[in-house]
Amino acid sequence: MLHGPDIRTRRDPDKEQVVTKTAPAIRNGVDTPNLFGTIDAVRDRRELAKFQFRATNRWVIGTHSRTTIETFSGAGGEHVHAKEFAYDADHPAVLVGADQGPTPVEFLLHALGACLMAGVANIAAARGVTLSAVEARIEGDIDLQGILGLSDEVRNGYQRVRVTFDIDGDASPEKLREIVEQSRGRSAVFDVLTNGVDVVVDVA
């Protein structure tokens, strides 16, 4: 998701001047004028901020399924991705699957890492920090007694998740750490995973 820079910092006249004077239009591959322009446009028309994302999952065989992702709505209109994205998921052999794709819970780790990473790049660009390399390792611990129906005390999902960043750029370790922290504070996936969301499951 688009992780906005810290607007309060940006509204500080002194700091805004610094950004204006020193930040190139493109830093870390982020089009910062476009990013700031998008935030300004949404500030003026709040209804542009409403998005709906969609996916369609189809059963293939056994625990193997395939999801396609193609359209979404937002910014006042309908959108089509540059191409239709398709992803397989499955269970590995040790969990009685054919390993045609990662498990669904591994995709949660991907979503979390990718969301935090997009935020890191955007926020670094907004703060005038040029990144050289960033990597995040994501681990999730789970006790399958829950989903196997062997215990009512053990939850179905992860018991804990850890993300460890290695981040290199032209800023102090403290400033790089603050960028990661700001990304965490504005991450859509981190919010959903830590705070939960209302999910309704229906049969047509």
Residues of span 122-181 touching a copy of itself by CB under 8 A? 122, 131, 133-150, 154-167, 173, 176-177, 180-181
DSSP letters, 96-119, are TS--SS--HHHHHHHHHHHHHHHH
Dist. CA 128–CA 24, nearest whole Å: 8
Binding residues for a copy of itself, how many (CB under 8 A)? 136
Q: What is the footprint of a copy of itself within residues 105-124 (CB under 8 A)? A: 105-122
Beta carbons within 8 Å of 10's beta carbon, 6+ residues apart: 16, 19, 36, 126
- The minimum distance between CB 160 and a copy of itself, in angstroms, equals 5
Q: Residues 18 to 37: which contact a copy of itself by CB under 8 A?
A: 28-31, 34-35
Question: Rounded to the nearest whole angstrom, what is the least distance from the CB of residue 38 to a copy of itself in the complex?
Answer: 6
Alpha carbon distance 107, 57 (integer Å): 14
DSSP state of 154: S
For residues 56-95, which are near a copy of itself according to CB under 8 A? Answer: 56-59, 61-65, 67, 69, 72, 74-75, 79, 81-82, 85, 87, 89-92, 94-95
Nearest approach in angstroms of CB 100 to a copy of itself is 8
CA 62 vs. chain centroid, Å, equals 29
Amino acid at 89: A
Residues 88-107 that bind a copy of itself (CB under 8 A): 89-92, 94-107
